[in-house]
Amino acid sequence: MAVSGVTIDHDKVLLVRRSPLNPEVWAPPGGKVERHEHLVQALERETHEEIGVTLHPLRLLAQIELHMTDRSYALFSFLCDVVNEPSALAPSSDALDLRWWRFEDTLHAPLAPGVFTVLRQLTQ
């Protein structure tokens, strides 16, 4: 299982580039759920590790299954609160970079598997 935190601010979504797994693609911050960890705990831990700020979920946005050539997993994506101090955001741990993307730009961005499906939930 994995979690991600989708944060929107003024029609922009926060995405990160992760390393070393997929340094060329962008996705909301998040990661794997550890054994005996609740989804919200995993989300808060993973987002703090990746962007230096703990994201707090407002509601479950999407639950999807992803099937890769080497693994399969369930992804739980949460719509999260707006970051109070955007200047505090910084890529750390396993994130190479972070950026606020305009929604229309994500249509042509190199997104990680499943990200487009999750972001589409915001427009429905």
pLDDT in tens, 23-76: 789 999 999 999 999 999 999 999 999 998 889 999 999 999 998 888 898 999
Range of lowest pLDDT (44-48, 69-73, 107-111, 114-118): 69-73
Domains of the chain: 2-123 (3.90.79.10)
Q: What local confidence, expressed as pLDDT, does residue 7 receive?
A: 94
Tell me if the pTM is above 0.75.
Answer: yes
DSSP the chain: -EEEEEEEETTEEEEEEESSS-TT-EE-SEEEPPTT--HHHHHHHHHHHHHSS---EEEEEEEEEEE-SS-EEEEEEEEEPPPS-GGG----TTEEEEEEEEHHHHTTS-BPTTHHHHHHGGG-
pLDDT in tens, 71-96: 898 999 999 997 777 777 888 877 88
Residues pairing with 59 in the sheet: 79
